[in-house]
């Protein structure tokens, strides 16, 4: 195959007050026409910096020290602004990470695409602009939404629009910067499906930048693994996933939670990427399990090894040796006595707007955001709350913590009902429920030292502690006393989240609400936080409500899983049961969409009755999207609650009928697939 773009020995440095930092060092790779190349690595490894340089773009404080980016015989780094402008969008296009911020909010999306085509005069001959725009929308599986504004579209639809915009001029190369990171798992899979489909039809090459190897497995032909600004391994996707040769790739793959259910303790990566602790030799040496004395001093460069792969490691033969995955069966510690019930939620209904006096007089009520939630948590138990964004997971957590007084229902802690509003709860009750937020950057006050952040709750609740308490708790979460005098901005994301966990643990809570606490972190960091949480759960017997959209993480350590869809509990079951027999159609959809570490040829199943939307607050919320819907019954009547072995299912289909799988194979033929992508969300 012919090379489309070639990066040769690229070195980029970022300038700051403290001098230059080398961000990208000696990166070389090439992408052939029509090939999908994946670039993967932890945050801060320089993958986006490289990707944006392929568009000839760099931030103001970055400097290309050496290197060439040769696209079709031209060095992009030597082009002037005018020539770059001509090239960008028309021959190399970008799909940005966050469609919400990259689409202009005050402009109809059709106009934005028109702008793109007009700038590059890329209208195919003999075709009207309007026809072309509609055609592009059809290409990405959208109806004609040209007259809409970005905020009128869902996140998935917005990303489809940015993709349509990127392919509008039939580019040769598409640069995708984490295009699915902000999206739900089902939407993610549809976008990936769409990209694969587009590639087959248009034949463009792709550079796919992501931190998610599992997603990359679904689309990339070859993958480059980056660490600390260097490519450490380039290999065909299947080879890499089956037998990673570089110790870093190996650790990265091992940290990914999979749905296969095998726990892999001790396989993940240790430590974090610290650019200030680089050895002169291999950059990965401080974290490497295979490191020898020579690694510290000998710089490693990519060397071709067997099977079209290149590796930057002198000890790759040892690393590539297949390790037998240690299948640790999670021991079921089923004790006879049932632990005490810590939290119980009964008939909870929530809404954001309080009915006004006028509405109350007329007997009108606004629809609830969340309704009929019944949930119990026992001491030492982890219950996961799973669902797509907007399903009301965090809303429930807000109600339990007292930040959103419920419209109806009772929340009780230790058998005693809690006051609905935060200000009416006693200090003791506040102490017993601790909340850990999603984003540790936002939940730690940036202007306070870690010592002050940790000491404040202790002072506030008047807990008697000895002088060593802060150090002990830091030790518990895998940090040390040296962190006490730092500011949050001097810590990495994972360390900050550990501080947030430490702050919650310090006051001995009975219930810990973890609101998506892993989603802002790197995979390798995630794996270690999960490990930490598991050990804390065993040590402290604290009950946890673990909110997540990621079923793979949930199966790692939750005891029970509650599946939420548009504010209603669809299913509640033991984790193992839920994974082996999903029962509910929605749970099935979620499980199928979760990517595994090999190409799984996922095809989203088309809804059975696409046009029957549920009557607000009456029918099953899944109606219209459910692949197993039975006529209009689902949309019009409330599905009954059916008890199963260790939980319940809310569905019109009988418990006996549910386990009968309708295999997605019948959805393979293209016409049905098109329908499914158009229907998507």
Partner 1 sequence: MTSVTSTPSRRFNAARWRATPGPFKVGAIILAAHALFAIVGAVWTPYGYAEMGAGLPLSGLSWGHPMGLDQIGRDVFSRFMHGAHIVLLLSFAGTILGMVAGTTLGLLSGYVGGWFDAVTQRVVEAMISIPFLALALVMIIAAGPALAGAPVLIVFVVGLVYAPRITRIARAAAMEIATREYVAVAELRGEGTWSIVFREILPNAANVLLVEFSLRLSYAPILIGALGFLGFGIRPPTPEWGLMISENRNLLIASPVTVFGPGLGLASLVIGFNLFTDGLSRMLGQRPVAGA
Binding to partner 1 in span 503-542, by CB under 8 A: 503
The β-bridge partners of 514 are 436, 546
Does the protein bind partner 1 through residue 480 (CB under 8 A)? no
If binding is defined by CB under 8 A, does position 201 make contact with partner 1? no
Nearer to partner 1, 428 or 669 (CB): 428
Task: Give the x-and-dash track for 266-295 against partner 1 (CB under 8 A).
Answer: -------xxxx-------------------
Which stretch in 92-100, 388-396, 484-492, 594-602 sits in contact with partner 1 by CB under 8 A? Answer: 484-492
Q: Does 439 bind partner 1 (CB under 8 A)?
A: yes
Binding flag, residue 403, partner 1 (CB under 8 A): yes
Among residues 241 and 518, whose Cβ is nearest to partner 1? 518
Closest CA to 245 of 309, 197, 300, 298: 309
From 89-97, 354-362, 364-372, 439-447, span contacting partner 1 (CB under 8 A): 439-447
Choosing from 37, 248, 316, 435, the residue that interacts with partner 1 (CB under 8 A) is 435
Query: Cβ of residue 94: shortest distance to partner 1, in angstroms?
Result: 20
Minimum distance of partner 1 from residue 52's CB (angstroms): 14
Q: Does 405 bind partner 1 (CB under 8 A)?
A: no
Q: If residue 573 lies in a helix (H) or strand (E), which one and from where to where?
A: strand 568-574
Measured distance CA(406)–CA(408) in Å, rounded:
5
> Is residue 503 within 8 Å of 449, Cβ to Cβ?
no
- Structure token pair of residue 446: 């940036």
Give the nearest distance from C-beta 548 to partner 1 in angstroms.
17
What the block records as the tokens of 472 is: 């002990």
Q: How far is the CB of 479 from partner 1 (least distance, A)?
A: 16
Q: Does 354 bind partner 1 (CB under 8 A)?
A: no
Regarding 18 and contact with partner 1 (CB under 8 A), the answer is yes
Identify the residue among 2, 16, 200, 656 touching partner 1 (CB under 8 A): 16
353 binds partner 1 (CB under 8 A): no
Told to check if 456 binds partner 1 by CB under 8 A, we report yes
> How many beta carbons lie within 10 A of that of residue 608, not counting itself?
18
- Which range binds partner 1 by CB under 8 A, 122-130, 433-441, 535-543, 662-670? 433-441
Name the minimum Å distance from CB 502 to partner 1.
Answer: 13
Angle between helices 129-139 and 155-167 (to 10 degrees): 120
Residue 247 contacts residue 284 (beta carbons within 8 Å): yes
Based on the shown chain and the rule CB under 8 A, indicate whether residue 488 belongs to the binding site for partner 1.
yes
CB 364 within 8 A of CB 354: no
Are 524 and 553 a contacting pair, CB within 8 Å? Answer: no
The nearest distance, CB 177 to partner 1, in angstroms, is 15
Q: Which residues pair with 543 in a beta bridge?
A: 511
Minimum distance of partner 1 from residue 401's CB (angstroms): 6
State yes or no: residue 357 binds partner 1 (CB under 8 A): no
Of 276 and 656, CB closest to partner 1: 276
Q: Residue 422: count other Cβ atoms within 10 Å of its Cβ.
A: 15
Tokens 């998610």 label which residue? 212
Please provide the DSSP assignment of 29-72 as one string. EEEETT-EEEEE--TTSSHHHHHHHTTT---TTEEEEEEEEEET
Residue 438 CB, shortest distance to partner 1, in Å, is 8
Task: Give the interface segment with partner 1, choosing from 16-24, 549-557, 625-633, 660-668 (CB under 8 A).
Answer: 16-24
Rounded distance, CA 566 to CA 560, Å?
20
Q: Which is closer to partner 1, CB of 290 or CB of 487?
A: 487
Look at the alpha carbons of 463, 467, 470, 473 in this order and tell me if their dihedral is positive or negative: negative
Is the CB of 222 or the CB of 503 nearer to partner 1? 503
Q: Check residue 489 for interaction with partner 1 (CB under 8 A).
A: yes
Instruction: Tell me if 498 sits within 8 A of 535, measured CB to CB.
Output: no
Nearest-approach distance from CB 163 to partner 1, in angstroms: 26
Give the pairing type, strands 309-311 and 230-236: antiparallel
Smallest distance from partner 1 to CB 655, Å: 39
Rule CB under 8 A: is residue 181 a binding residue for partner 1?
no
**444 part of the interface to partner 1, by CB under 8 A:** yes
> What long-range pairs does 59-66 form, CB within 8 A, spacing at least 24?
59/14, 61/14, 61/15, 61/16, 62/12, 62/13, 62/14, 62/15, 62/23, 63/12, 63/13, 63/14, 63/15, 63/20, 64/10, 64/11, 64/12, 65/11, 65/12, 65/13, 66/9, 66/10, 66/11
Tell me the closest approach of the beta carbon of residue 450 to partner 1, in angstroms.
Answer: 13
Size of the site for partner 1 (CB under 8 A): 41
Q: How far apart are CA 215 and CA 598, in angstroms?
A: 9
Pick one of 4, 55, 174, 430: the residue that binds partner 1 (CB under 8 A).
430
Minimum CB separation of residue 425 from partner 1 in Å reads 7
End-to-end CA distance of the chain: 38
CA nearest neighbour of 352 among 397, 406, 425, 394: 406
**Segment contacting partner 1 by CB under 8 A, of 27-35, 200-208, 430-438, 473-481:** 430-438
CB 11 within 8 A of CB 22: yes
Interaction site with partner 1 (CB under 8 A): 14, 16-18, 21, 23, 44, 273-276, 401-403, 422, 425, 427, 430, 433-435, 437-439, 441-448, 456-457, 460-461, 488-490, 493, 503
């Amino acid at each position: 195959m012919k090379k489309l773009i070639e990066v040769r020995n690229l070195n980029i440095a970022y300038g700051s007050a403290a001098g230059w930092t080398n961000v990208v060092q000696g990166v070389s790779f090439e992408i052939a026409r029509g090939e999908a190349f994946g670039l993967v690595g932890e945050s801060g490894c320089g993958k986006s910096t490289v990707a944006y340089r392929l568009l000839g773009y760099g931030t103001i404080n970055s400097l290309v020290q050496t290197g060439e980016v040769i696209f079709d015989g031209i060095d992009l780094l030597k082009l002037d602004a005018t020539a770059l402008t001509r090239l960008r969008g028309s021959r190399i296009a970008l799909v940005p990470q966050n469609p919400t911020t990259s689409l202009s909010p005050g402009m109809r999306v059709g106009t934005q695409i028109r702008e793109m085509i007009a700038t590059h005069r890329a209208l195919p001959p003999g075709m009207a602009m309007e026809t072309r725009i509609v055609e592009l929308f059809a290409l990405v599986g959208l109806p004609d939404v040209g007259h809409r504004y970005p905020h009128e579209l869902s996140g998935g639809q917005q990303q489809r629009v940015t993709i349509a915009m990127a392919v509008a001029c039939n580019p040769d190369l598409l640069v995708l910067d984490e295009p699915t990171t902000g999206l739900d798992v089902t939407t993610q899979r549809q976008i990936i499906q769409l990209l694969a489909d587009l590639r087959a039809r248009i034949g463009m090459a792709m550079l796919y930048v992501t931190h998610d190897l599992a997603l990359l497995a679904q689309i990339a032909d070859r993958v480059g693994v980056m660490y600390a600004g260097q490519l450490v391994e380039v290999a065909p996707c299947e080879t890499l996933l089956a037998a990673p040769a570089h110790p870093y790739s190996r650790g990265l793959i091992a940290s990914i939670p999979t749905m296969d259910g095998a726990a892999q303790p001790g396989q993940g990566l240790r430590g974090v990427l610290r650019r200030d602790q680089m050895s002169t030799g291999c950059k990965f040496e401080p974290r490497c399990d295979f490191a020898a004395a020579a690694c510290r001093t000998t710089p490693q460069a990519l060397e071709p090894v067997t099977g079209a792969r290149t590796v930057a490691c002198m000890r790759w033969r040892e690393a590539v040796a297949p390790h037998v995955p240690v299948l640790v069966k999670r021991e079921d510690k089923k004790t006879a006595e049932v632990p005490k019930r810590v939290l119980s939620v009964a008939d909870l209904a929530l809404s954001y707007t309080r009915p006004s006096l006028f509405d109350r007089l007329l007997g009108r009520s606004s629809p609830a955001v969340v309704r009929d939630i019944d949930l119990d948590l026992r001491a030492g138990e982890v219950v996961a709350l799973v669902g797509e964004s907007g399903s009301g997971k965090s809303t429930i957590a807000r109600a339990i913590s007292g930040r959103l007084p419920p419209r109806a229902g009772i929340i009780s802690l230790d058998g005693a009902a809690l006051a609905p509003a935060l200000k009416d709860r006693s200090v003791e009750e506040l102490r017993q429920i601790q909340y850990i937020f999603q984003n540790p950057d936002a939940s730690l006050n940036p202007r306070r030292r870690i010592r002050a952040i940790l000491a404040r709750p202790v002072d506030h609740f008047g807990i008697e502690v000895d002088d060593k308490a802060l150090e002990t708790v830091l030790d518990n979460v895998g940090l040390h006393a040296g962190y006490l005098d730092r500011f949050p901005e001097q810590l990495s994301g994972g360390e900050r989240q550990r501080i947030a966990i430490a702050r919650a643990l310090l006051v001995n809570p009975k219930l810990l609400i973890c609101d998506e606490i892993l989603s802002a972190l790197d995979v390798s960091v995630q794996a270690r936080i999960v490990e930490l949480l598991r050990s804390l759960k065993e040590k402290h017997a604290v009950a946890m409500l673990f909110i997540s959209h990621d079923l793979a993480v949930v199966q790692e350590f939750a005891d029970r899983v509650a599946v939420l869809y548009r504010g209603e509990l669809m299913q509640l079951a033991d984790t193992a049961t839920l994974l082996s027999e999903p029962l509910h159609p929605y749970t099935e959809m979620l499980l199928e969409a979760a990517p595994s570490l090999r190409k799984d040829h996922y095809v989203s199943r088309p809804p059975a009755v696409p046009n029957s939307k549920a009557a607000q607050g009456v029918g099953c919320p899944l109606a219209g999207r459910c692949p197993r819907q039975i006529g209009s019954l689902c949309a019009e009547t409330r599905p009954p609650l059916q008890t199963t072995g260790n939980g319940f299912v809310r569905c019109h289909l009988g418990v006996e009928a549910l386990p009968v799988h309708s295999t997605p194979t019948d959805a393979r033929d293209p016409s049905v697939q098109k329908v499914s992508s158009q229907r998507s969300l």
